[in-house]
Homo-oligomer: A and B are copies of this chain.
Amino acid sequence: MASLKNKLIALKNIHKEQYDLEVKYCNELIEVEKKYMNLLKPYWEKRADIISGKYDNEEEITKEEDDTEYPELNGLNNVHCKGIPDFWLTVMLHHPKISENITELDIKILSFLSDIRVEYLKENANFRLVFDFMQKSQKNEAVENIYFSNKSLYLSFYYTLDNTFGKAEYSHSYVEGTDIYWKNKNYVEEAVQNVCVTETGRELK
């Protein structure tokens, strides 16, 4: 009969072999995810083109045959404007978790937001969120983005292969944001003040 020590070592060795398979499993899941992100890309691009107003003609926008399907949209039947202004701002304001973090100054800035999308980085599970901003308002071409000059802001999420619980998995490591090129430092101060007020307001609750 083998000693208990040798049996436990045998289990540890099985676990090591399992680990290599789990790493392959993690990587294959990421490959499937990347594959479908690429397949979804054309849909996201078409959506972005409609929102920005690149596609805006009757011929480019497929008309709905059955006009009764979306009665809640009837009020917008005669509204004609460039693309769909404030689309992403509206989406964010309707999201329960995101909306509670949006300040008044954010609303002014997010009005210039034209697209949000996810892009995979080369390495494993790493990805970045891309936030595209316009320099002129969609609603009124005269209104300029007076806040910053970046065309896009990026938020990159980095992962490392983790073995903490004896199981191979990619766990979140750190986030990296873009430097923002503020046009006027006063707005940075306004933004910081705004955040402080909100934080204090929360603490007082």
Please report which residues of chain A, range 75-106, place their CB below 8 angstroms from some CB of chain B when the two chains form the complex: 76-84
- Distance (whole angstroms) from the CB of A35 to the closest CB of chain B: 8
Asked if A174 is at the interface (CB within 8 A of a chain B CB), the reply is: no
Chain B residues, Cβ within 8 Å of A40: 18, 21-22
- Please measure, in the bound complex, the distance between the C-alpha atom of A164 and the C-alpha atom of B22, giving whole angstroms: 31
Copies in the complex: 2
Chain B residues, Cβ within 8 Å of A79: 3-5
Q: Are B3 and A78 in contact (CB under 8 A)?
A: yes
Q: Are B74 and A5 in contact (CB under 8 A)?
A: yes
Known contacts A25-B32, A32-B25: A5-B73 contact under CB 8 Å:
yes
Asked if A6 is at the interface (CB within 8 A of a chain B CB), the reply is: yes
Main secondary structure of the interface of A (DSSP, over half): helix
Asked if A172 is at the interface (CB within 8 A of a chain B CB), the reply is: no
Known contacts A25-B32, A36-B21, A64-B9: A76-B3 contact under CB 8 Å:
yes
Q: Are B43 and A8 in contact (CB under 8 A)?
A: no
Q: Of B21, B61, B74, which one neighbours A39 at CB under 8 angstroms?
A: B21
- Distance (whole angstroms) from the CB of A31 to the closest CB of chain B: 9
Asked if A1 is at the interface (CB within 8 A of a chain B CB), the reply is: yes
Asked if A50 is at the interface (CB within 8 A of a chain B CB), the reply is: yes
Q: Of B14, B57, B77, which one neighbours A43 at CB under 8 angstroms?
A: B14
Known contacts A28-B32, A29-B29, A61-B7: A70-B12 contact under CB 8 Å:
yes
Asked if A199 is at the interface (CB within 8 A of a chain B CB), the reply is: no
Asked if A58 is at the interface (CB within 8 A of a chain B CB), the reply is: yes
